[in-house]
Amino acid sequence: MELLTTSEAADYLRLGERKLYELVAEERIPCSKVTGKWLFPRHELDRWVMSGLARPAGMSTPEPPPIVGGSQDDLLEWSLRQSGSGLASLTEGTEGGVARLLRGEVAAAAIHFHGDTADANIAAVAAMPRLSDAVLVGFARREQGLLLPPGNPRSLHGLADVLSTGARMAVRQRGAGADMLLTLLLAGIGAQPQDIDRLEPPCLTGPDLAAAIRTGRADCGIATRAAARATGLDFVPLARESFDLLMRQRTYFQPSFQALIRFLSQEAFAGRAAELAGYDPAPAGQIRFFK
């Protein structure tokens, strides 16, 4: 990371130092105070400039509504409310959220891709040709696993047991991160999605899937540990995943998202993550990727 001093930042932005200090005092420019001196990360200044880019008439794109689309998550929904960000949520799965982001229908998408790469979220965003100004902000690491009725009456300890016993499995819709994870894990044991006894129609959220198991319509399903705890279900861990917020660079600097990002560093966020269970909040608020 390249850090600029006040005079270097002023020269880089072609501003007077007095104007730069005014922006600092008004909290309108990215900076950090270290041992009494203001420092300015150069890459943050680049994004700050791009966020205010004016486009000629006919090229302007309307600002998207203040909605976080994509994957459902209890900790995220709580954070949107508690942070005072004014952001709403529209949950319909990872790929559905990205599609709405590309169409300008949401301001950000909560994502958890799964694939063969070490960091599937970064790989997926890097490969999106229509999103050349992307910022990926870390939210948390989550545990995903098998949700089971209390006491695990069918003794299911993995997907191999699900297949061998013919257990009915609640599933998520195509494009949801949990569906991607299921496909990946089945491939790892030489199986395919059509090999399992699937509950139809698919469940649109993790809580919907948990309810299907709780009411006896399904014997198991893949969702988060938090979803299991909230509904009193047993849980067999299968994977840890990155759960991130994807947005455009100009969106990152909007007051609503800055309010949310500031909240992610507070003790209340870490405390709530511990209460819900299955979260590692260490990545919260970090910029994990941008282009």
Query: Where along the chain do its domains lie?
Result: 3-51, 62-291
Q: What is the structure's pLDDT at 54?
A: 58
Which of residues 42 and 78 earns the better pLDDT score? 78
- Distance, in Å, from the CA atom of 70 to the CA atom of 68, rounded to the nearest integer, reads 7
Beta bridge partners of 89: 68
Which CATH number describes the domain made up of 3-51? Answer: 1.10.10
| Burial category of 230 from C-beta neighbours within 10 Å (exposed 0-12, middle 13-18, buried 19 and up) | middle
Q: What is the structure's pLDDT at 60?
A: 45
Question: What residues contact 209, with CB distance under 8 A and at least 6 apart?
Answer: 147, 170, 171, 172, 178, 203, 218, 221, 222, 223, 227
- Distance, in Å, from the CA atom of 55 to the CA atom of 196, rounded to the nearest integer, reads 51
Neighbours of 231 (CB within 10 A): 17
Is the pLDDT reported for residue 57 higher than 70? Answer: no
- Distance, in Å, from the CA atom of 107 to the CA atom of 68, rounded to the nearest integer, reads 6
Is the pLDDT reported for residue 184 higher than 90? Answer: yes
pLDDT interval class at 41 (50, 70, 90):
confident
- Distance, in Å, from the CA atom of 111 to the CA atom of 99, rounded to the nearest integer, reads 11
Q: How far is CA 88 from CA 10, 66, 136, 236, in A?
A: 37, 6, 19, 31
User: pLDDT per residue over 234-275, tens digit each?
Assistant: 999 999 999 999 999 989 999 999 999 999 999 999 999 999
pLDDT interval class at 208 (50, 70, 90):
very high
Give yes or no for a contact between 172 and 165, defined as CB atoms under 8 angstroms apart. Answer: no
pLDDT interval class at 26 (50, 70, 90):
confident
The angle, 0 to 180 degrees and rounded to 10, between the axes of the packed helices 267-276 and 74-82 is: 150
pLDDT interval class at 96 (50, 70, 90):
very high
> 84 phi and psi, to 5 degrees?
70, 25
Q: Widest CA span of the chain, in angstroms? A: 72
- Name the CATH code of domain 62-291 (choices 3.40.190.290, 3.40.47.10, 1.10.4190.10, 3.40.50.300): 3.40.190.290
Please tell me if the domain spanning 3-51 has the same topology as the one spanning 62-291. no
What DSSP string describes 251-268? Answer: HHTSHHHHHHHHHTTSHH
